[in-house]
Amino acid sequence: MPTSLDAIQPHGGALIDRTVDADVKDGLLERAQSMPKVKLDERAQSDLEMIAVGAFSPLRGFLSQRDYHAVVESMRLTNGLAWSVPICLQVAAEVADGLKEGQQVALTDESGKVLAVLDLEERFRPDREVEAQRVYLTTELAHPGVRAIKEAGEVYLAGEIHLLERPDTVAFPAYHRDPTQTRALFRERGWRTIVGFQTRNPIHRAHEYITKCALEIVDGLMLHPLVGKTKGDDIPADVRMRCYEVLMAKYYPHDRVVLSVYPAAMRYGGPREAIFHAIARKNYGCTHFIVGRDHAGVGSYYGTYDAQKLFDQFQPGELGIQPLKFENAFFSKTTGQMATQKTAPGGPETQVNLSGTKVRDMLRAGELPPPEFSRPEVAQILIDSMKG
């Protein structure tokens, strides 16, 4: 384990920065006005930002064809470095037909505002059925990750990027920290070991329990909720952030926990996305990463602990971040406290472990779930948001 501040290296050894320096920004922005334009959707915009600020280090742009195939087939870049999810820029064929390798392309948001310049190195047409099966373990359109790649363009553009402007989708500025900023914050606090917790849901008592168990063995905890694009029936990020804030204020030690947002898009990639999430948190400066039940899963596409098992396929130290694997947590009526199957006797009848459907039904009816399941302040925020 690291023994000095900033001891954990970014993935690949260096934190990438593809933001354009102020002294050349105006000139490049002016030239970009006459470049061919490619419009980015919300997911592509978040990928653009994450590459540029180093959250997706060592990527310097969108994957080349060789790296794409290596990632899909072997969960590695062509240089052998572990990488589990392809980060690609998809465009329609008619858009790609108007572009040439070797030229620069202006990347814009939906309104036409130029966000970045792409050094176009390649255009290629992969087999998206193969990508879906290998990465998501299904080709069904009901899977949101599969649907995203199949509904986007059939041609992939590759090349390094130069970020000129942040997307307007940047949210929660008080908590929006790039990897350089989280690393500086950890250093300022004197933390040598930091555990990251990924979530796209409000934190209930089971989540609180596993994060606090992890906090027992490290210096600090970074609650790192994903606030990029999610599927339509997920709880909105602004509602979730209010839940995190009230938990931070009342139930966590202020000097040992940081709330910071992760502005990436959710891919619902299960085991592969768990690896991807861990690598990104390593870039943010975390030394440990919590991997719980059905990490990044959706529906019944993945086994309960498949994500934890996938970490075991990598050599010790290869990922450069320590996974902390937790079983499903619940309130044990037998022991009178939060627990898992490892620490509490008794079967399901002794556990307070409500389904998501049951909790949503209670909230819609204005009923607070039992305090053993959710902090009442969190439940009240959710009830109020459903009424709204």
For the annotated catalytic residues, the residue numbers are 200-201
Nearest to 50 by CA among 267, 272, 257: 267
Task: Please say whether the beta carbons of 50 and 56 come within 8 A.
Answer: yes
Phi, psi of 178, rounded to the nearest 5 degrees: -75, 165
